[in-house]
C-alpha cells in the first residue's frame, strides 16, 4: 500500500533515489531504526535548479562537506558523485513532471542501528535524494512583499550544521504561521542586547543608510548560500554590503528588510510584527535595493547554474 502523500505538493510517483536505486517517491521506505528517523541524526541540502541546471552547486557541496564533517558522518559520495546523481535526478524529474525548474533535496543520515545515543562506528549512511517542480515567488508576492514576525531564538547552538533535527525550526516557523505571517525572524541575546540570528529557514537582511547589512554566519546563523551570492551581487551593483550583527532596534528603523533562501530566493519583508517596514512613500512597500538585487539575482540564475 502507498504511504499517504501531502496533497498538491509532490507528484506521488516522481522518481527519487534511496540507498543506491531509483524508485517512485511513494514507494521509498527507510527502516524505523534509521537514526534520521529516531534522532534527526542527519544533514541535508536544498539546491535550486533553473532550466535543468544546479544553482551554485559548488557552494552547496562545500556546506554539505562541513555539515557531514561536523556531524562525523562519512561523505558517501564526494562532489563528483553528488553531481552525477543530482544531474540524473533532475533529468528524471524533468522527464516525469515536465518542469526544468526544481528544488532538489538531498539528505544523508548516519544510518540504521539499534537505538542508542552514542554514534555507532562503521555504519553505512542512508542517502536520499528527491526533487520537485518549483515555482519561485511570483510577481504578486514580489510587489507586495511578505509579513514577518519576530521571536526569541530558542534553537540549539550548532546552527552552522544543516541538520535534519528541525523541531526548533519547525516550532519557530509555526509562530509566523499562527499569526498569518510568512517567516519568523529570530533574535538572541548576544551579550550586547538582542540581535538577529536568522529566519526559521532563511537568512535576514536589513538596508540601513543605503547599505545592505547581513548577519555573519556563526553557530547561530547558517551559512546560507545566498549570503556570499548577495555580497557578490552587491559588489556588481555598487551597493555597499556589510556582514555584522543586526540589533533588534535596527529592524524598526531599517529602510528595507529582506529574507533569502533557496526556495524563496530573495523576498522583501514589508510588515514586521504588524507594522509597515520602511519610511515615507516606500513605507510598507518593497524598496529600491530589493529591486536591484532581485534583477541581479535573476541574471545570476542563468550565469551560475551548471
Residues designated as active site: 162
Looking at the chain, the number of H-run helices and the number of E-run strands are 8, 15
How far apart are alpha carbons 104 and 229 in whole angstroms?
Answer: 19
For ligand PDD, the binding residues in 244-283 under the rule CB under 6 A are 260-263
DSSP letter for each residue of 91-110: HHHHHHHS-S-EEEEEEEE-
If one asks whether residue 77 binds ligand PDD (CB under 6 A), the answer comes out as no
How far apart are alpha carbons 26 and 229 in whole angstroms?
Answer: 35
> Residue 5 Cβ, how far from ligand PDD at the closest point, in Å?
18
If one asks whether residue 41 binds ligand PDD (CB under 6 A), the answer comes out as no
> Residue 80 Cβ, how far from ligand PDD at the closest point, in Å?
21
- Cβ closest to ligand PDD, residue 18 vs residue 267: 267
**Segment contacting ligand PDD by CB under 6 A, of 14-22, 137-145, 196-204, 277-285:** 196-204
Query: Contact, 305 vs 51, CB < 8 A?
Result: yes
Give how many residues touch ligand PDD by CB under 6 A. Answer: 14
> Residue 147 Cβ, how far from ligand PDD at the closest point, in Å?
19
- Cβ closest to ligand PDD, residue 285 vs residue 301: 301
Q: Give the Cβ contact number of residue 173 at 10 Å.
A: 20
Q: At what angle do helices 57-71 and 79-97 cross, to 10 degrees?
A: 120
> Residue 47 Cβ, how far from ligand PDD at the closest point, in Å?
9
* Four-point Cα dihedral 251, 289, 46, 180, nearest 10: 50
3-state helix, strand, coil in the chain (%, to 5): 30, 30, 40
C-alpha cell at 15: 522518481
For ligand PDD, the binding residues in 115-154 under the rule CB under 6 A are none
Cβ-proximal residue to ligand PDD, closest one: 224
* Identified binder of ligand PDD from the candidate list 201, 205, 239, 286, rule CB under 6 A: 201
> Residue 261 Cβ, how far from ligand PDD at the closest point, in Å?
4
If one asks whether residue 197 binds ligand PDD (CB under 6 A), the answer comes out as no
* Strand, helix or coil for residue 46: strand
> Residue 53 Cβ, how far from ligand PDD at the closest point, in Å?
17
- Cβ closest to ligand PDD, residue 73 vs residue 267: 267
For ligand PDD, the binding residues in 202-221 under the rule CB under 6 A are 202-203
* Identified binder of ligand PDD from the candidate list 46, 113, 206, 300, rule CB under 6 A: 46
Work out the widest C-alpha separation in the chain, in whole angstroms.
61
How far apart are alpha carbons 277 and 285 in whole angstroms?
Answer: 7
Residues in contact with ligand PDD by the rule CB under 6 A: 46, 169, 198, 201-203, 222, 224-226, 260-263
Amino acid at each position: 500500500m502507498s504511504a499517504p502523500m501531502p496533497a498538491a505538493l509532490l507528484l506521488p510517483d516522481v522518481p527519487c533515489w534511496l540507498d543506491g536505486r531509483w524508485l517512485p517517491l511513494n514507494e521509498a521506505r527507510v527502516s524505523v531504526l534509521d537514526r534520521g528517523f529516531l534522532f534527526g541524526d542527519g544533514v541535508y541540502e536544498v539546491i535550486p535548479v533553473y532550466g535543468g541546471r544546479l544553482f551554485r552547486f559548488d557552494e552547496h557541496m562545500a556546506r554539505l562537506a562541513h555539515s557531514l564533517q561536523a556531524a562525523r558522518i562519512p561523505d558517501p559520495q564526494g562532489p563528483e558523485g553528488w553531481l552525477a546523481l543530482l544531474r540524473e535526478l533532475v533529468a528524471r524529474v524533468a522527464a516525469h513532471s515536465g518542469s526544468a525548474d526544481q528544488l532538489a533535496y538531498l539528505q544523508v543520515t548516519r544510518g540504521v542501528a539499534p537505538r542508542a545515543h552514542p554514534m555507532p562506528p562503521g555504519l553505512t549512511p542512508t542517502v536520499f535524494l528527491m526533487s520537485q517542480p518549483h515555482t519561485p515567488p511570483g510577481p504578486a508576492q514580489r510587489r507586495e512583499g511578505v509579513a514577518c514576525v519576530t521571536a526569541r531564538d530558542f534553537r540549539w547552538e550548532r546552527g552552522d550544521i544543516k541538520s535534519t533535527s528541525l523541531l526548533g525550526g519547525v516550532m519557530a516557523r509555526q509562530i509566523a504561521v499562527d499569526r498569518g505571517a510568512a517567516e519568523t525572524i529570530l533574535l538572541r541575546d548576544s551579550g550586547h542586547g538582542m540581535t538577529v540570528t536568522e529566519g526559521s529557514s532563511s537568512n535576514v537582511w536589513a538596508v540601513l543608510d543605503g547599505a545592505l547589512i547581513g548577519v555573519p554566519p556563526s553557530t547561530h546563523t547558517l551559512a546560507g548560500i545566498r549570503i556570499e551570492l548577495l555580497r557578490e551581487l552587491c559588489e556588481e551593483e555598487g551597493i555597499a554590503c556589510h556582514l555584522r550583527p543586526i540589533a533588534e532596534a535596527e529592524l524598526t528603523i531599517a529602510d528595507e528588510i529582506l529574507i533569502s533562501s533557496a526556495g524563496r530566493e530573495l523576498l522583501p519583508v514589508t510588515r514586521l510584527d504588524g507594522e509597515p517596514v520602511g519610511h515615507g512613500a516606500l513605507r510598507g512597500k518593497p524598496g529600491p535595493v530589493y529591486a536591484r538585487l532581485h534583477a541581479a539575482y535573476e541574471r545570476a540564475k542563468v550565469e551560475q547554474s551548471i
